[in-house]
Structure 1
């Protein structure tokens, strides 16, 4: 539904930088932007007016770690699925994210520029996308989905499958070329594998990923294009070496320790914990096709997740919101709020999915808050998320209105 101007009246406004709602606010949206926010009635000839008295209005949410094309929990199996089938199965995943209130997401491996084009042109309904293209992995690393055998099949670089979240490249020259290729194809940032992982078949969680020279080369290529590198990393040692090499955001980071968190804070690095994916993998991974060797690795990182939040918070490391869900578990995206609320306040959890996410994306002046000049990404919520984070959970049942850049995407009868 296209609206050139909209007046929202009597809102209880949630500003992530404040600890309580601002009551009785009017918000004027024009041409996709927040034009005015006032504690007095705004007089305007807006095309539409919505009275939201008794409801919360807040910025659209930002998820910094999704996989749009992860239509199966068994990532090795989906690599061999038909390209068109993977693409079409990703469409409802995109729509579901937006319905849950996530108006912006960063794809952490798999989705390329074509997915952005599909959303921006209206061909697919979904959140604003920041894509990483295919993540970079060394042979035998977290992005290498080849099973163990007595023959290591080579992969033709000109026959990449849409279902592949990553590509394999080894050596400084090869990773430079791979990073340049992903940037040329439209990647907004570069993702690398800096440690072992759960969903991959042959790498222990504690294994290192790329060597430091390779990481520095990738970081240098990203900086040359005025962007940055995010790194999959679990252990303190893997996190520390990635940060020392210039990586800007650490994904997961469950097995961090206090000295490493202090190093991150000093370097200005961010972390994007993804607690909900371990719950999902442990509870339903095997049922939906996660290989047994991956199920066995979940316990290594799951229990450390909540403790890592305490360590990052104590060190002053800024935490973004991430979910990292696969296949059928994509529906659990908002449960990340529930898990974080066991350690963080609702305000801190919301900040991770708004202002911190905007910082990571370099969009602090456009996303994360509803202030004049910002993009009009907003949610109307039944309830006060600062008191009860559960009103953001589920599939958007308590979010009757979702707007992205001034366009109402979902409206459960408020108008």
Structure 2
């Protein structure tokens, strides 16, 4: 697939990705949100040398000879944003197109959406299921513009579980037959412990940084009710153990208390969604130190249009959002920010709006820490499979030089992030400036 897709990917971009700077970049006259602190810091100078932050110190530099100096005009500098639940190949196209189109077209659309994602200030995403390996490789090679991608590969599910989009004509499965969706890497069906191990290992061969497993039904899969359970505890544990053998972790799609508790018993380190959890389950998560990667769905504007049984499931998830965040705060669960915006290019533009939704439960500083420093901590769980081993989500010496310059103070008004075209004046990733709209 890579050889078929790459020749056309660069044509989908609006501009050639920038080259690495020939000399260090010195930022002056900015206010710093570092991804860790609750307040801004003033009077600092930052030196970006290559792809990382070489210096971050109080006062003016001793010398700027041989450097490019950028005056930030008193604007707020913050880390690049991280979306912990993104689907790089599913974000920009309707599901009907994804299931029926040539996959080369899907990859081309994803490459264009990757650039738009970066221009919204999201410099890193964790891909929570799909064949994003070629896209990641093209971005890292500088062929196209886009965020860093932590790929999970195909989401591993069971017969009838969320992600099983097979037609009824594909049943019964026999021998080594697999469906088109499986061949393209969207999902992988596993119905035994040995099949789980096999499917997990297949993702690692393709350079997955972590593994996505499905613990219950989902909204968009037509025949998987939310209350159904997929893997047994032993099957989930087989995935967890295999991921640990490769030095990384498993994230599990789970909405209900039963699915979450089974995942916890199997040693899962990150729960995706969790919107229907109860107080007992939240307490268990906090006690175990398990991450909750949840999305702030507060209304139908935050999700792709659905109908039939999927509509009822979507409304159930929306109704559970407030309670889930309230429980997460009550019990002090380690909470990550993600959006899960899929099947619509218009919906994908709401990444910043989704972040602003968090102020229903958190201060702006807490929300920004979640989308930067906290998310960076969760990314680091990929351990030996981490494709980007320096720190992400924070601005400190030695961290990746991923930063945004905001016209206004997002700690006072988080809605500034929802209008990136106007309010994000500088976007830097990996030490390269992808946008500079500072006054001359």
* TM-score bin, normalised by smaller chain: over 0.9
Aligned partner (choices 314, 322, 328) of residue 330 of structure 2: 314
The answer to whether 1:304 aligns with 2:320 is: yes
Task: State the Cα distance separating 1:46 from its structure 2 match.
Answer: 4.5
Counterpart CA distance in 2 for 1:402 and 1:414 is 15
Query: CA separation of 1:211/1:57 partners in 2, compared to 1, >3 Å: closer, same or farther?
Result: same
Counterpart CA distance in 1 for 2:182 and 2:99 is 6
Report what 1:58 is aligned to.
78
Query: CA separation of 1:318/1:311 partners in 2, compared to 1, >3 Å: closer, same or farther?
Result: same
Gaps of 5+ in 2: 1-17, 381-387
Report what 2:273 is aligned to.
252
Counterpart CA distance in 1 for 2:94 and 2:257 is 27
Query: CA separation of 1:277/1:394 partners in 2, compared to 1, >3 Å: closer, same or farther?
Result: farther
Q: TM-score, normalised by structure 2?
A: 0.88
Query: CA separation of 1:310/1:25 partners in 2, compared to 1, >3 Å: closer, same or farther?
Result: same
Contact 1:148 1:202 (8 Å CA) reproduced: no
Counterpart CA distance in 1 for 2:265 and 2:299 is 27
Aligned partner (choices 21, 37, 42) of residue 23 of structure 1: 42
* CA displacement 1:170-213 (0-9 Å, x = unmatched): 11111110101111111111000011110111111111121111
Task: State the Cα distance separating 1:400 from its structure 2 match.
Answer: 1.1
Query: CA separation of 1:44/1:395 partners in 2, compared to 1, >3 Å: closer, same or farther?
Result: closer
Task: State the Cα distance separating 1:236 from its structure 2 match.
Answer: 1.4
Task: State the Cα distance separating 1:338 from its structure 2 match.
Answer: 2.0
Task: State the Cα distance separating 1:40 from its structure 2 match.
Answer: 0.4
393-402 vs 73-82, which moves further: 73-82
Counterpart CA distance in 2 for 1:269 and 1:102 is 24
Report what 1:355 is aligned to.
373
Task: State the Cα distance separating 1:152 from its structure 2 match.
Answer: 4.8
Contact 1:111 1:134 (8 Å CA) reproduced: yes
Contact 1:36 1:372 (8 Å CA) reproduced: yes
Contact 1:320 1:357 (8 Å CA) reproduced: yes
Contact 2:28 2:45 (8 Å CA) reproduced: yes
Q: Could you list the runs of 4 or more consecutive aligned residues of structure 1 that deviate by over 3 angstroms after TM superposition?
A: 71-77, 147-164, 276-282
Counterpart CA distance in 1 for 2:172 and 2:299 is 30
Gaps of 5+ in 1: none
Report what 1:238 is aligned to.
259
Trace 1:4-403 onto structure 2 (pairs within 5 A): 4-42=23-61, 43-71=63-91, 74-75=94-95, 78-147=98-167, 152=172, 156-157=177-178, 165-276=186-297, 279-280=300-301, 285-286=304-305, 290-328=306-344, 329-362=347-380, 366-403=391-428
Q: Secondary structure at the match of 1:208?
A: coil
Q: TM-score, normalised by structure 1?
A: 0.93
Task: State the Cα distance separating 1:90 from its structure 2 match.
Answer: 0.3
Structure with bigger helix share is 2
Counterpart CA distance in 2 for 1:277 and 1:142 is 22
Q: Secondary structure at the match of 1:230?
A: strand
Task: State the Cα distance separating 1:66 from its structure 2 match.
Answer: 0.2
Question: Cα RMSD over matched residues?
Answer: 2.2
Task: State the Cα distance separating 1:295 from its structure 2 match.
Answer: 2.2
Counterpart CA distance in 1 for 2:298 and 2:137 is 28
Task: State the Cα distance separating 1:275 from its structure 2 match.
Answer: 2.2
126-135 vs 25-34, which moves further: 25-34
222-231 vs 90-99, which moves further: 90-99
* CA displacement 1:49-92 (0-9 Å, x = unmatched): 11112200011111110000005665365223201110001012
Task: State the Cα distance separating 1:397 from its structure 2 match.
Answer: 2.4
Task: State the Cα distance separating 1:365 from its structure 2 match.
Answer: 5.6
Counterpart CA distance in 1 for 2:298 and 2:239 is 27
Task: State the Cα distance separating 1:105 from its structure 2 match.
Answer: 0.6
